[in-house]
Amino acid sequence: MFKKLYLLLAFVFAFQYFAFSQRSKEFGLRFSANSPWLINQNLYSDDGIDYGFSYGYSAGLKAGIDVYYEFGVNAEILFTHYASAFYENKVDPHWSRSFSLNYLEMPIMLRYKEDKFYFEAGPQLGFLLNAQSVQTHLGDKDEIRSDKILYNPLNYALVLGSGFMVYEHEHYNIFLGGRMSYGFNNVFNEDNINPTKVYYPYSIFPNYPLSYNPDYAVQNLPVHTFYVGFCAELSWGNIRHR
């Protein structure tokens, strides 16, 4: 799979460079600090489980081109860390479960530039690198699972963002902005989840019997990725900012 991925990445950047070699172009680095969530629809009606605030990040490379006046296209390769936590607040308030997912993401962003501001939107394809869950009780980590087979290897998302140039130099520019991403497909691989019990990850407690809450097994609803982040870009090249 990784061989095909490398070929795809090489094709994306080669296409941008050669197809638009006569147009202005830029290259750069990108970093964002995110507040990520795993949106678990199975927990919407359960007031005994709370979401916990989590931190994540995204970092990588970008390449952009001007395609028509104020419009440009950016291709990016990003390493993104998602994290989310759930807490039991009724049966046993000392239990919690946290998730950690790492993806290699490839957003293709259509960017509109006006003066020093930009607005962007586009699709994103994510490749799961690794996944881990940690169950904690009374402050002790009593279970750590890294069952990557339980997760979907691909994640399809829509990305929206905006920002502005805070520093302009002859050879490079610095941008600050924000970005939001929402994944459309299920984070978890439904073919590898046991539907006969409250099974991780649809419940935060995989070993509880079905009688704990049968709705988890009956609903079997998808879980989506979501994040809102603050981002910074360092770009160099000859992109024109109107």
pTM above 0.85, yes or no: no
**Residue 97 confidence class, pLDDT cut points 50, 70, 90:** confident
pLDDT at 241 over 80: no
Extents of the domains making up the chain: 2-237
Which H or E element spans position 8?
helix 2-19
Under CATH, what is the fold of the domain 2-237?
A: Porin (2.40.160)
How many residues make up the chain in this entry? 242
pLDDT at 151 over 70: yes
Which H or E element spans position 224?
strand 223-237
- Does 201 sit behind a cis peptide bond, omega within 30 degrees of 0 on the bond before it? yes
**Residue 209 confidence class, pLDDT cut points 50, 70, 90:** very low
- pLDDT tens profile 43-84: 665 666 777 778 899 999 999 988 887 899 999 999 999 988
At residue 198, the pLDDT reads 37
Q: How large is the average pLDDT for residues 131-157?
A: 80
pLDDT at 91 over 90: no
pLDDT at 218 over 90: no
- pLDDT tens profile 152-207: 999 999 999 999 999 988 888 999 999 999 999 988 887 765 443 333 344 444 44
Most confident of 26-40, 125-139, 217-231: 26-40
105, 154 Cβ separation under 8 angstroms: no
At residue 197, the pLDDT reads 36
Percent of the chain with pLDDT over 70: 69
Most confident of 2-11, 107-116, 127-136: 107-116
Give the separation between CA 151 and CA 77, rounded to whole angstroms: 21
Which H or E element spans position 219?
helix 215-219
Percent of the chain with pLDDT over 90: 38
